[in-house]
Amino acid sequence: MSGVPQRAFVALGSNLGDRRACLDGALRRLSGTPLVRVLAASDWIETEPVGGPSGQGRYLNGVVELETALAPRELLELLLALEREAGRDRTREQRHGPRTLDLDLLLYGEERLSEPDLLVPHPRLEERIFVLQPLAQIAPERRLPGCRLTVRERLAELCAPGRVSEGA
């Protein structure tokens, strides 16, 4: 355990089954986990899939802000366990394919971690509109480590007229 509570941001997404129920369930489970306190949650935003196989259903995406005394690795293990409980099997799925639940650790305090299966800040965070939109609802003035703009500023930049982006 890290001991000292840290602020963490987690992205939630689903495009299979009852998407809203799956996301609501994950949020309830996070809220009920010892050493984790949900401070804020965005609305669920419907978005088109980015990458992956064609013909996927639309996603519901959101972001939660947590205060946690769990270490980054412990928090990641919790997120992976919640995905498994929702029926996700990362070993059998296609990359960027449909999923019942996708939980990504976006930020953990000011830490930068680069381990084989744990990268913080999350790669491409600053390029993904489907992550920045809900993040802007709960932390618009949070500075993004990858580009030093606030979430609000980066989202405006990506949504500027005429701009084409992977995260659109």
Catalytic pick among 99, 112, 152, 154: 99
104 flagged as catalytic: yes
- Reference 66, options 42, 97, 99; nearest CA is 42
What is the number of other CB atoms lying within 10 angstroms of the CB of residue 64?
25
Catalytic pick among 19, 29, 90, 104: 104
20 flagged as catalytic: no
CB 120 within 8 A of CB 11: no
Catalytic pick among 24, 28, 43, 88: 88
Strands (E), 81-130: 102-108, 113-115, 118-120
88 flagged as catalytic: yes
> By CB neighbour count within 10 A (0-12 exposed, 13-18 middle, 19+ buried), where does 145 fall?
middle
Catalytic pick among 18, 20, 73, 102: 102
152 flagged as catalytic: no
* Catalytically active residues, by annotation: 88, 99, 102, 104
